[in-house]
Structure 1
Amino acid sequence: MNVSRPIRARIFPAAIQHNYRVAKAKAPDSRAWAVIKADAYGHGQMRAAEALRSEADGFALLECENAVALRAAGFRHPILLLEGIFSEADARQVVAHDLHAAVHCVEQIDMLAAHCTAEHTLNLHLKINSGMNRLGFDERTLPQAWASLEKIPSLNLSLMTHFANADDALGVNWQLARFRLLAGVWRGPVSLGNSAAILRHPEGHGDWVRPGIILYGGSPFADTLADKFGLQAAMALESRIIAVQQIAPGERVGYGGLFVAEQAMRIGIVACGYADGYPRSAPTGTPIAVAGRMSRTLGRVSMDMLACDLSHIPEAGLGSPVTLWGPGEAGNVPAEAVAAAAGTIAYELFCALSPRVPVETVSVAS
């Protein structure tokens, strides 16, 4: 771990646990898959899973090897492979480790069926393409899927779909209508709600919901910060001021000289850049906290550094704490606000955290 450079990320497992409880309270009639794909959205798969070991209904992720790692760590929960299997080897692991698997094409069903015996019950989740058009069966391919499923000697089956517009004005009803049409007479369990549907569309919950970004204290909505839903940020990205410059009116800052000072200014240089996962697209004015006060970035983000305005923070200087996002020592900076300024979403900020950034786990009794 790099301990000399002052940048660090802090992860708050208690916040993950709190946010899971919020999701459960918002969908009280559903069980919840805790989505820990993409290394738990950059928060650490095992760290997130341990935070939820005592109360998660199940975990959902992508790679079979990561599911097997949970089993090796003693997790006996249902574990769902959200994209199903990718190979015969995965099919064998599903059977050997009693994993749940989404199936979105007939080839997946057939591979799993080939490795199943009457002594083993397969837990499959038939993916319905209700309009997002990424994965799943539609009216043309469903008959073949049902025919292949009938060949499996022992099967627990659920249906699932994914909403494309749960976070915007179009909502979920158009997909729910299509899902119900395709499901036909199905009366078994269904998994429907993503984070946005959990918070705003109770009609789109189903028997299982799949909280993702909200587990980590991020909002799925562009117009609403996470704390409005009672969510707690689970990551803080922090650094320190490593240099201070005095610049005159007309002087420029950073690559390309994108920021031009209109008056004499005092600026700070922060040990954080795009090689740490901070978005290069973040423009002048992106919020940042320094020494307990809010400020703004200046100019273009470079690989290892960025500049910020210290003109109104005379007490800030070399070594002063900086919060890039999250509830840091220098102040709270909502990740959604940073993401919005950079033209992206908090999901990307979390997932883009660089391996070179040291990560600390903050242990707080829940």
Structure 2
Amino acid sequence: MRLATAEINLTALSYNLRRIKALAPGARVMAVLKANAYGHGLVKIAQHLNDADAFAVARIDEALALRAGGLTKPIVLLEGFFDRADLPILIANNFETIIHDENQLRAIETSQLDARLSVWLKVDTGMHRLGIEPEQFEAFYQRLKGCDNVDPKIKLMTHFSCADDTNSPQTRQQMETFERLVADKPEARCLANSAGVLGWPQSHGDWIRPGLMMYGVSPMLNQVGPEHGLKPVMRLTTRVIAIKTIAAGEKVGYGGRWQSQQKTQLAVVAMGYGDGYPRNARNGTPVVIRDKRYGIVGAVSMDMITVDIGTNPDGIAVGDQVEMWGPALPVEEVAACAGTIPYELLCNVTPRVSYEYLALSD
């Protein structure tokens, strides 16, 4: 009997990519695959994104893993390179790099390279993480255009900080800053992450960078993927491994943080923070057994969670499958119960969980 399992629905993945392309029909798609494709499996996911125009990862080792897996599409390094010694690796593997600071630019200008680099110039319009300052833009742009080591067809990029909140003025301000800087430049532009794709269609530009939404999860505040016409790609499941009857007043789990108010039954399920399930999920966080929701009770342990199934009128038995999140239970909802975000839950699934890649019917 297989216990903790992440079922990855490749049909849903393909469906979501089609949905994304329909939302931004004039834009090319840079599919974001960083952090092991948001916990879904880097190479496997990439191999089923044939209609993406490029891939994006955070670091060189992720990009090298894609090349080793036979992927030939353009790959963009979202954090750029970190050392002059990385540049031959970029050239040899046809990686594209973000440029976001002076050190990177100087390294390119002063290196002996066998070919020209494909470069994305990133401007910090308000995220205040990576990116050159707006007042540096023109100088960086001219230096890149005049550098023999750089492909003259550079591209221009920024990143939104609050696009998940359509009531925030920040995204509009960022767009205005970016457009003011690049207004007279002919290069391709890329602004929209998943939240930009969904909430700010005027930001779509020449390229979009869908990440979370590609996996069927909403990047927007207080929304879930199906509200945008997306389908969850990951279904995290396990099994009931024991059923216990406890009396009224009994405390459950480490620290006795939940106490039964009446005689009840508990289903013990083989899932815990050792599998990546959030330890701080509160009492009542739902799971699905036999198409019905039940709430977890007591502390999440390393390997087990207890679920209050009441007097068990549905005949729940050892071996029954339990959906921890998936089509019947949005991961966004579980994240809210744990005081975190769905990105973290997906990325935290541990190697102990078995992965099954499935082509399921629509």
Question: TM-score, normalised to structure 2's length?
Answer: 0.94
Match of 2:242 in 1: 243
Q: Deviations over 1:330-362 (max 9, x none)?
A: xx1111110111111111111000111111111
Q: Please tell me whether residue 69 in structure 1 is matched to residue 68 in structure 2.
A: no
What is the distance in 2 between the residues matched to 1:335 and 1:289? Answer: 12
Match of 2:318 in 1: 318
Distance 1:159 1:358, change over 3 A: same
Deviation of 1:217 (Å)? 0.8
Q: Deviations over 1:13-35 (max 9, x none)?
A: 22111111111111111101000
Q: Please tell me whether residue 89 in structure 1 is matched to residue 99 in structure 2.
A: no
Q: 1:15 is matched by which residue type in structure 2?
A: A
Any idea what SS the aligned residue of 1:337 has?
helix
Match of 1:41 in 2: 38
What is the distance in 1 between the residues matched to 2:25 and 2:306? Answer: 46
Match of 2:186 in 1: 187
What is the distance in 1 between the residues matched to 2:48 and 2:11? Answer: 7
Question: TM-score, normalised to structure 1's length?
Answer: 0.93
What is the distance in 2 between the residues matched to 1:224 and 1:234? Answer: 17
What is the distance in 2 between the residues matched to 1:23 and 1:313? Answer: 42
What is the distance in 2 between the residues matched to 1:62 and 1:8? Answer: 26
Q: Deviations over 1:93-140 (max 9, x none)?
A: 1111221111101211222344465x7332111110000100111134
Matches for 1:136-147 after TM superposition, within 5 Å: 136-147=131-142
Would the aligned equivalents of 2:240 and 2:321 in 1 still touch at CA under 8 Å?
Answer: yes
Distance 1:236 1:191, change over 3 A: same
Match of 2:284 in 1: 285
Matches for 1:121-132 after TM superposition, within 5 Å: 121-132=116-127
Deviation of 1:176 (Å)? 0.6
What is the distance in 1 between the residues matched to 2:112 and 2:18? Answer: 36
Would the aligned equivalents of 1:105 and 1:136 in 2 still touch at CA under 8 Å?
Answer: yes
Would the aligned equivalents of 2:125 and 2:134 in 1 still touch at CA under 8 Å?
Answer: no
What is the distance in 2 between the residues matched to 1:75 and 1:303? Answer: 36
Q: 2:186 is matched by which residue type in structure 1?
A: R
Distance 1:116 1:97, change over 3 A: farther
What is the distance in 2 between the residues matched to 1:355 and 1:212? Answer: 21
Q: Please tell me whether residue 274 in structure 1 is matched to residue 273 in structure 2.
A: yes
RMSD, aligned CA? 1.8
What is the distance in 2 between the residues matched to 1:164 and 1:312? Answer: 47
- What stretches of structure 2 of length at least 5 have no aligned partner? none
Deviation of 1:88 (Å)? 2.2
Distance 1:72 1:116, change over 3 A: farther
Report the number of matched residues: 357
